[in-house]
Chain A
Amino acid sequence: MEPPIDSPPYRRTFYKGGSGMWSWILHRGSGLAVLGFLFLHVLDTSLVMFGPNAYNTMAKFYESALFRPLEVLLMFLVIFHAFNGLRVIIVDLWTRGSRYQAQLSRLVWAITLVLFLPSAWIMLRPIFE
């Protein structure tokens, strides 16, 4: 009996799921992130109670080069979440939905990118000017 050639340290591996699994993960993640932003938004809007100054400082911060990219990310998450949600509904309710799930997944990505790229450009342009 020969011993094993080598025994590298144990590392957790990923399950190599397809588009369905990754969309599901991203759907959950984006849902949580958007919810988190909603809370943030409630907070910053309530700053108006401390006068216009406080509110405006915050609004400025959102437009800064620091925060803008995060808003762009938010944009992406919202668009993906919306259209992926529609895909899930279609797969749930349409009898043939399961058969076309891979195509539907690709369609979601296409729509997401078509809507996201121009809006990202519009949102980021002011930073570079």
Chain B
Amino acid sequence: MLPVSLKVQRRIPGEKPYWAAYAVEVEENGRVLDALHQVKWHQDGTLSFRRSCAHGVCGSDAMMINGVNRLACAVLCRDLEQPITVEPLRGLNVEKDLIVDMEPFFEAYKAVKPWLVNDDPPPTRERLQTPEQRRRYDDTTKCILCAACTTSCPIFWGDDRYVGPAAIVNAHRFIYDSRDQGGEERLEILSSEDGAFRCRTTFNCSDACPRGIKVTEAIQEVKRSILRKKI
């Protein structure tokens, strides 16, 4: 067993935030999520956080771990410096402890029309695509909407009207899809004041992405498409 000392930022509505320290034990390969479970199940049931799949797929448990955004279910305690500090994501309102209000994040996501836009009559079979055409947007299909990128962005902390990296990543996924016809419309949306050009290439988002998406690179590609009016 591995002893873990945790420092968790506790936030209770209407009260001053404070740091709570917990000492727990997890297995050798225990993840931060396991440590949080130990606290919640055996020490302090009032600690609140989101998680669902516990395997890096659903994107529920993004939080700030030792100063950077990570999925609690995807980082091992033994790889981290102790005490491990755990804080809620920045730039979104905290509802309680590690739970933030994701609504503005999903609003920005919806604003870029993250669905297939194609007015042609539906074909009788699949819409075919060459492997090269598929590769064009492969990286941005991996997004799990955990908000780690958007809430690592200093621009987003300062101005929540900025659509943020995650929305641009998901726009990218359709803009460069050969079967999609809404690319120009999305570029138009992203060329607005709160769109892609708010990005100042700090690369925090690329570092934060638990799926290893090259987020900033995708944003830059979108910016260049807007500038050159070419998809």
- A-side residues, CB < 8 A to B, are 1-11, 13-21, 23-25, 88, 91-93, 95, 97-99, 101
Question: Once the chains are docked, how many angstroms separate the CA of A88 from the CA of B214?
Answer: 17
Q: Give the chain B neighbours of A98 by CB distance below 8 A.
A: 201, 203, 206, 214, 216-217, 220
B207 touches A92 (CB 8 A): no
CB < 8 Å neighbour of A14 from B16, B18, B67, B217: B67
In the bound complex, residues from chain B placing their C-beta under 8 Å from that of A101 are 201, 203, 216
Chain B interface size, under 10 / 10 to 19 / 20 to 34 / 35 or more = 35 or more
- Report B63 CB to chain A, min CB distance, Å: 12
Q: Are B9 and A10 in contact (CB under 8 A)?
A: yes
List chain B residues, Cβ under 8 A from A2: 43-44
Contact check, B154 vs A24: say whether CB atoms are below 8 A apart. yes
Q: Tell which of B21, B85, B220 touches A5, judged by Cβ atoms closer than 8 Å.
A: B21
Q: Provide the bound-state CA to CA distance between A11 and B87, in Å.
A: 12
Would A20 and B19 be within 8 Å (CB), given that A1-B43, A13-B85 are in contact? no
Residues of A within 8 A of B67 (CB): 13-16
CB closest chain-B residue, reference A11? B19
Q: A16-B68, A20-B203, A92-B223 are in contact. Are A10 and B217 (CB under 8 A)?
A: no
Check A92 against B45 for contact (C-beta < 8 Å).
no
B-side interface residues toward A, CB under 8 Å?
Answer: 9-10, 16-23, 43-45, 64, 66-68, 85, 87, 90, 152, 154, 200-204, 206-207, 214, 216-217, 220-221, 223-224
CB-based contact B23/A21 at 8 Å: no
A5: min CB distance to chain B, Å: 5
- Cβ contacts under 8 Å, A14 to chain B: 67
Give the chain B neighbours of A23 by CB distance below 8 A. Answer: 202
10 closest Cβ pairs, A-B complex? A20-B203, A16-B67, A4-B20, A98-B217, A21-B202, A20-B202, A10-B17, A5-B21, A17-B204, A24-B202
Q: Of residues A2, A4, A5, which shows the largest number of chain B Cβ atoms within 10 Å of its Cβ? A: A4
Report B-chain residues with C-beta under 8 Å of the C-beta of A91: 201, 220
The answer to whether A5 and B224 touch across the interface, beta carbons within 8 angstroms, is no
Minimal Cβ-Cβ distance residue in A for B214: A98
- Chain B residue numbers with a CB within 8 Å of A11 are 19
A92 to B19, CA, bound (A): 40
Closest Cβ–Cβ distance, residue A51 to chain B (whole Å): 46
